[in-house]
Structure 1
């Protein structure tokens, strides 16, 4: 009887480990905006709705050119809550990618916790954010264990 219970517990632990490994190994890398990248005038809320859902441990890549004489700066902020996101209130926001970090391979942000992540650009006084464009929410879900 004790051997059967030990075997059952061992099998359960093995299965849970396998499921967790599969879920982590299936994490995806998603370029925010796709071929558009992170730029002014693009509706990222619509993009996120069309390209979601996002899952735990997925990585979002923000690509944007570094600022110069002809390119306005871009940035990526993480807003702390839904109210800040809806009103584009950056007072308690965290800068996660400054204007010079989006070039080349871009800036990567991994969705490592199951909680809402509110992203927005503050550049240009947050004009694109207040117009509802350069912002989106990513709320990662647990990935189903099997496709």
Structure 2
């Protein structure tokens, strides 16, 4: 019982902190006085103020591009939020003169991401697709997307920090 009570208290504290931080915002999805909502609408199907806005094209890593030894999780946290229909562009040098190749994998879940387990991952870009214009991945749906480089038996993911995740949100939900 003590454990259940503690979990409830923690959940209540988190919920109250979130609600308190967004209560003053007109765009807060939990604010019942949101003037954009019409009768019968909920926060998840409210009108999108920037509907029709062009999606962003974001170079993964910015000027650093996609390479071994750069912290992409930190990069993603600093460069969010990411929106539905934004395009992530993975740019990396093709393998040459003994240089290690890079790739892009989409991992199925957090466990695979945390452990750099590519056994159930889907390879979406090989070692040459990142050159010139780069490989483009469109964030089509609102779900967490987990990305990693799978080269060198997952060493690029594990030791090289070549992994990150993003949860795209609908446009107009962030100010």
Q: TM-score range by the shorter chain?
A: 0.7 to 0.9
Q: 1:146 to 1:122 in 2, by over 3 A?
A: closer
Q: 1:34 to 1:119 in 2, by over 3 A?
A: same
Instruction: Select the residue among 35, 38, 47 that pairs with 2:75.
Output: 47
Q: CA RMSD in A?
A: 1.8
Is the partner of 2:165 in helix, strand or coil? strand
Counterpart-to-counterpart distance in 1, 2:72 and 2:140:
21
Instruction: Select the residue among 74, 88, 95 that pairs with 1:60.
Output: 88
Is the partner of 1:38 in helix, strand or coil? coil
TM, length-normalised to structure 1: 0.81
Counterpart-to-counterpart distance in 1, 2:163 and 2:174:
31
Say if 1:30 and 1:58, in contact at 8 Å, map to a contact too.
yes
Q: How many residues align?
A: 129
Aligned-pair CA distance for 1:53? 1.0
Aligned-pair CA distance for 1:132? 6.5
Q: Which runs of 5+ in 2 are unaligned?
A: 1-46
Aligned-pair CA distance for 1:145? 6.9
| 1:71-86 paired onto structure 2 within 5 Å | 71-86=99-114
Q: Which moved more, 1:113-122 or 1:64-73?
A: 64-73
Larger helix fraction of residues? 1
Give the structure 2 partner of residue 139 of structure 1. Answer: 167
| 1:1-147 paired onto structure 2 within 5 Å | 22-131=50-159, 133-144=161-172
Q: 1:23 to 1:125 in 2, by over 3 A?
A: same
Q: Which runs of 5+ in 1 are unaligned?
A: 1-18
Is the partner of 2:156 in helix, strand or coil? helix
The structure 1 segments of at least 4 consecutive aligned residues displaced by more than 6 Å after TM superposition are none
* TM-superposition CA deviations, 1:43-83 (whole Å, max 9, x none): 00000000011110000000001111142100000000011
